[in-house]
Structure formats: structure tokens, C-alpha cells
Amino acid sequence: MDSLRVLDTDPVDYLVTPRVLASMIAGPILNVLCFMMGIGASVWLADLMYNVPANIIVDSARRALTDFDIFTSMIKSWVFGTIVSVVSCRLVL
């Protein structure tokens, strides 16, 4: 921190902004990855344990999920990623 002040560099621009932007991008990406891993695991377990075909699981998930569910999930992951990064950067600085 002291070296940034000696160089007359704003610590917020140099340290906080990249972390907040990375969290804003990583949150929705992780949300999609977790969603896909959950669907993949349920397809795998349904096929392995109960001999249920994959197309039945995927069709059931497609009917149960609406576009609004996916949209709100993406917005929530974006907001939570932003809040977590801002709060953690504020506690450190």
C-alpha cells in the first residue's frame, strides 16, 4: 500500500477495481458451471442407480425451469459476487 502511495497510484484503481470486475464476471460463469455439473450428476446417477434414461431427466429439467429462473439465478450470482468482492476489499483496505 505504501509503495502505491509513493508512486502516486490510487490503490482502489490498482487493487480493488480488477478484483470487483473479476468477481462480476466469475460469478455467473461459476453459476452456469455448477448448474451444468448438477444436471450432469443427476443424469449420471439416475442412469447408474435407477436405469432412467438421460433424455427423461433433461426433459423434466427443461419443463421445470423457466427462463425467469435462469435469469434470476444469473442476476443473483452477479450481485452476490459483486457484494462479496466489495466487502472483502473494503475489509482489507
Confidence of residue 67 (pLDDT cuts 50, 70, 90): very high
Q: Read off the pTM.
A: 0.80
Over 90: is that where the pLDDT of 91 sits? no
Residues 6 or more apart whose Cβ sits within 8 Å of residue 42: 57, 61
pLDDT in tens, 16-66: 889 999 999 999 999 999 999 999 999 999 999 999 999 999 999 999 999
Return the number of other C-beta atoms located less than 10 Å from residue 6's C-beta: 8
Percent of the chain residues past pLDDT 70, beyond the cut = 88
Return the number of other C-beta atoms located less than 10 Å from residue 56's C-beta: 12
Average pLDDT of the residues of the chain: 89
Over 80: is that where the pLDDT of 5 sits? no
The whole-angstrom separation of Cα 38 and Cα 6 is 49
The whole-angstrom separation of Cα 88 and Cα 93 is 9
Confidence of residue 89 (pLDDT cuts 50, 70, 90): confident
Question: What 3-state DSSP class applies to 29?
Answer: helix
The whole-angstrom separation of Cα 57 and Cα 25 is 29
